[in-house]
Amino acid sequence: MRASSPCLLLLSGAVLALAVAASPTRDTIPILKAPEAFHEELVLKPLNDGSVYSHFQFTTHIGTMMDDDHFDGAASNLFKHYNLFPRSIGQILHSFEVEELHLTFTQGRWQYSDWGYPLAPSAGTGVELWAWLNDDRRQTDEHWKGLTNTLSGLFCASLNFIDDTITTEPKLSFRNEGLYNTHSAPAADAFTRNSINSNNNNSSIPRKLRYGSLPHENVCTENLTPWIKLLPCKSKAGIASLLKSHKLFDTRFYSMAVHVRSVCEDEQCRVKSLELVQTITAVFDVARHDGSFDWSISGLFEREITQSCPLASTSKVIVNLPQTTQIENQYSLVPHPPQGIHAEGSGDKRQEIAVYDLKKILANTTSFQLSLQWKGSRPQSVRAISPGIVAHRYFTGFGQERGGLAIEIRNNNSQDIEAIYLDTVPWYLKLYLHTFSIQLDGKTLDNQRELVQKMFYQPAVDRSRPAVLEMALKLPANSLVKFTVSFDKVFLKYTEHRPDANRGFDVGYAVITAQLPREQGQIGYGGLDHLRLYQEREAGLVQGRRRIRDRNQEEEKLEEDKIRVYTDTLLVSLPTPDFSMPYNVITMTCTVISLFFGSVFNLMMRNFEVVKKEKKMAKKSSTGGDDTKGKGKDKTEKTE
């Protein structure tokens, strides 16, 4: 099977793709190469509270020489000669044997109950990094260290602080995201997916997952600039020209991500490619200035798209129109999309979508403008959003000695949902698992098995690894599940405190992964794949996947999305010492010792002599009865 690859390797990408396409014996060649391509999309969606959600997605993919086990980066020229794919990312993937990489920088809090779910899969505050590394040569830990340090340099972020004390290896969450499994495995069931994933496609190559997050990391322009540099057109043309840092960071929520994974390009997964997806998600608060919900592209970004990126295969702006109810024609979208508005779903789940193809539009006009105006500046009636799963996590208790952690997960669906809960607790909070208790709708459960189907717990080791609690849950329909667990706070060494010690320590978010039936008012969320529909490269593939999925779920016919819900990050205050203490202790001890020494020394230096009694008697008679005191006083000093 692989014997045919060396001759193919000699040819360049384009020639190879042509050769393969022209080859009549298509089925006999197992390794195919897809041509290099770049796609860009901007999704805009007005939210019910007047904010505007914008999601930039830039997809670069190169054909890889992949066999069934792994992509053969070293053998091909994939990681030597770069065109659209950025060299910096390619080098990182190659030298640290990274098979899948997900890096997300987020600032602000995603408000699930107001905004629904984001298109971007990660929304936890701070930085989240997870990667599947090739463990062929048992160098995963070195590679992970190298990876965090290199990415830290590349994105000007403190990723190098993701060390052993933070890194975890989740057993159920954060599975491979490539399209490997969609055809070989029946979709939907999280647990079968997991078991398949742990086998990694019957692969003999061992892979290892590493996950780390920094909840306290701030995101700013210095992280955006290197991110933009990875784009083929930079921010000079196309949709990326809208990325102006002044406006992007003046938003309610900002998230920026880089995802690398290998994907299938056809239904049988004979053609695979390596895909780099870069996303930026921003929620603009348009109503802040004058209370008007109207918006336009030039108003949001203070820029206009004047030319499409000539390197992009597709360049599209997609507007998810607001879901108005009762009253028709509450708003007007200018200009009207040339292809008209199409709708996905029906009835309650109907979502109208307007698609603008920038390549066509900018061929005729000089700039692309888009605006949405409400009648009377505000919507009169829109459909409310009710996200399927909402989670909250908070600290209980008081004082600096001990505390508790409470997690509330609400399932708004009318069916049971299987979900995976992952919580990473730093080692300085000592969890007591025996205090773990579950309440279902306010009543304490005795039989936890019904709800918690699997549980992985990794106890923390001081100064070397965090505690990890991972549970496979079955959330009953329309229910509120609450977990509580208590912990002790550790008294840290004084060098282990941050410079701003009294601020407290950030404890990262918990992550809930679940397959949810597609929600009202969503075109699909929590995945990078749904925009592939607009990339015209494998629309057939996406449709094919849908067909397979539908076949497998003929009973329900519900579209499902795998989403991750992130809880808020928490701040815990640990007992904080006085930092001038060590020197104080030194000086204090020294003073005590030297005083002691001085007095002892003096005592030893002096000679004690018994004073003649007559004198004393004479004195005693004069002072009158103060015997003991006089004795002490009547020492005569004499040196040796």
Partner 1 sequence: MVILSVWAVVLLGLPLWWKTTRVYRAELPYDSIEQWNQWKTCRPRFPIRVNLHLPETEQQQSGETPTLKDITQGVTSRVQEMRAAQGIKGPLLAVEFIAGNPWKGPTNHIIDAIVQTSDAVFESEEKILWQLLDTNEDTQGIHKVQDQLKTVKYAPGYQLTFSLFSGDASNGVREWKMQEAINAYLAPFINTMSMVSKFTIESQIQHYASLTFTPQLENGSQEHFLTPDSLPNFINAAEWSLASTVSSLPSLNFLTYVPKPSESPLVIKTTQSAPKSSTNSFLIPRWGGVAILNREAERTKGTQEHPELITIQELEPVMRVFLAQLRDLLGVTDLSTSSSPSFPIVFHKSLSEAPTTWELDSLLRRRSAENLVDSLATISSLARLVRNTPNMVVLDHIQKDVTEALRDIARSCEHLSRQEYVEALAASRDGLVKSETAFFDPTMVSMLYFPDEHKYAIYMPLFVPISVPLLMSLLRELKRLKEKKKQAKQNKDSETSESTHDKQE
Classify 435 in phi/psi space as left (phi over 0), alpha (psi -120 to 50) or beta: alpha
Nearer to partner 1, 107 or 134 (CB): 134
Query: In 187-292, at which residue ranges do the beta strands (DSSP E only) sit?
Result: 207-214, 253-264, 271-285
In the complex, minimum distance from the CB of residue 19 to partner 1, in angstroms, rounded to a whole number: 15
In the complex, minimum distance from the CB of residue 57 to partner 1, in angstroms, rounded to a whole number: 19
Q: Report yes or no: 76 and 36 within 8 Å, Cβ to Cβ.
A: no
In the complex, minimum distance from the CB of residue 313 to partner 1, in angstroms, rounded to a whole number: 12
Residues contributing to the site for partner 1 (CB under 8 A): 12, 14, 77, 80-84, 86-88, 91-92, 94-96, 146, 150, 153-154, 229, 232-234, 236-237, 309-311, 586-587, 589-591, 593-595, 597-598, 601-602, 604-605, 639-640
Q: Report yes or no: 122 and 564 within 8 Å, Cβ to Cβ.
A: yes
Nearer to partner 1, 243 or 419 (CB): 243
DSSP code for 382 = B
In the complex, minimum distance from the CB of residue 229 to partner 1, in angstroms, rounded to a whole number: 6
- In Å, what is the CA distance from 599 to each residue of 103, 391, 494, 606? 66, 67, 34, 11
The rounded distance, in Å, linking the Cα atoms of 501 and 573 is 9
In the complex, minimum distance from the CB of residue 627 to partner 1, in angstroms, rounded to a whole number: 30
In the complex, minimum distance from the CB of residue 241 to partner 1, in angstroms, rounded to a whole number: 10
What is 570-604 written as a DSSP string? EEEPPP---TTHHHHHHHHHHHHHHHHHHHHHHHH
Nearer to partner 1, 162 or 233 (CB): 233
Nearer to partner 1, 433 or 593 (CB): 593
Q: Shortest CA distance to 390 belongs to which of 349, 419, 425, 423?
A: 419
- Six-digit token string for 295: 């918006």
- Residue 96: phi and psi, rounded to 5, are -105, 10
In the complex, minimum distance from the CB of residue 18 to partner 1, in angstroms, rounded to a whole number: 13
Q: Report yes or no: 269 and 183 within 8 Å, Cβ to Cβ.
A: yes
The rounded distance, in Å, linking the Cα atoms of 302 and 580 is 50
Q: Report yes or no: 352 and 275 within 8 Å, Cβ to Cβ.
A: no
Nearer to partner 1, 131 or 574 (CB): 131
Query: In 412-519, at which residue ranges do the beta strands (DSSP E only) sit?
Result: 417-425, 429-440, 443-444, 452-458, 467-475, 479-489, 505-507, 511-517
Nearer to partner 1, 276 or 391 (CB): 276
List Cβ neighbours of 426 (8 Å cut-off, separation of 6 or more).
165, 166, 460, 466, 467, 505, 507
In the complex, minimum distance from the CB of residue 66 to partner 1, in angstroms, rounded to a whole number: 20
Q: Shortest CA distance to 175 belongs to which of 213, 136, 131, 214?
A: 131
| Whether residue 335 has a cis bond before it, omega within 30° of 0 | yes
In the complex, minimum distance from the CB of residue 98 to partner 1, in angstroms, rounded to a whole number: 11
In the complex, minimum distance from the CB of residue 604 to partner 1, in angstroms, rounded to a whole number: 5
Nearer to partner 1, 327 or 595 (CB): 595
In the complex, minimum distance from the CB of residue 495 to partner 1, in angstroms, rounded to a whole number: 15
User: What is the enclosing helix (H) or strand (E) of 224?
Assistant: helix 221-229
In the complex, minimum distance from the CB of residue 291 to partner 1, in angstroms, rounded to a whole number: 40
Nearer to partner 1, 32 or 230 (CB): 230
Nearer to partner 1, 47 or 312 (CB): 312
Q: Shortest CA distance to 264 belongs to which of 41, 542, 559, 21?
A: 542
Which residue(s) pair with 284 in the sheet?
52
DSSP code for 486 = E
Nearer to partner 1, 70 or 143 (CB): 143
> Identity (one letter) of the amino acid at 158?
S
Nearer to partner 1, 309 or 475 (CB): 309
* Residue for token pair 């009207």: 336
Nearer to partner 1, 12 or 623 (CB): 12
Q: Shortest CA distance to 493 belongs to which of 532, 463, 533?
A: 463
User: What is the enclosing helix (H) or strand (E) of 134?
Assistant: strand 126-134
